[in-house]
Structure 1
Amino acid sequence: MKPSIGRIVHFNSGEGPAAALVIKVRGEGSTLDLQVFYPNGGIKHMFAIEPGRHLGSWSWPPRE
């Protein structure tokens, strides 16, 4: 899949995955700016987030 503005991804935070809205796609299309929605109600704008499964990265939500 290719990320695009408006898509939902997961941001891998220290509290587990958080829902995030793609607000900008950078460069070749894998580096993203995100609006992250934390389970506790917090919202944060994150810049230049790389894909992966490590802390501080983004990933696609698992399919069920």
Structure 2
Amino acid sequence: MKPTVGRNVHYKDTEGKTLAAVVVYVNPDTTGMVNLAVWNEFGKQFNALNVCQGDGLEQWNWPPRQ
């Protein structure tokens, strides 16, 4: 599935914590690279730029379906 602006995703920070994020920009010249607005566990928002899709640290992925 292609990312689009406004979609909710998960972002894994440098410590491996999964955080809530929203896609704010999709780079049209890449496959799946996006800019994110991310919220940490305290509700503080920060930006993550040029983030690739994946399961590793500092990457984004779709939330699991339940």
Q: Same fold (TM over 0.5)?
A: yes
User: Which amino acid is 1:10 matched to?
Assistant: H
Aligned to 2:60: 58
Aligned to 2:8: 8
Aligned to 1:24: 25
Q: Distance in 2 between matches of 1:28 and 1:49?
A: 11
User: Which amino acid is 1:19 matched to?
Assistant: A
Could you list the runs of 4 or more consecutive aligned residues of structure 1 that deviate by over 6 angstroms after TM superposition? none
Q: Give the number of the structure whose residues are more often strand, by fraction.
A: 1
User: Which amino acid is 1:58 matched to?
Assistant: W
User: How does the TM-score come out when normalised to structure 2?
Assistant: 0.88
Offset of residue 42 of structure 1: 1.4
Q: Distance in 2 between matches of 1:30 and 1:15?
A: 20
Q: Distance in 1 between matches of 2:43 and 2:5?
A: 22
Among all aligned residue pairs of Structure 1 and Structure 2, give the percentage whose two residues are the same amino acid: 33
Offset of residue 15 of structure 1: 5.0
Q: Distance in 2 between matches of 1:5 and 1:19?
A: 15
- Shift in CA distance, 15/41, structure 1 to aligned 2, threshold 3 Å: farther
User: What is the count of residue pairs matched by the alignment?
Assistant: 64
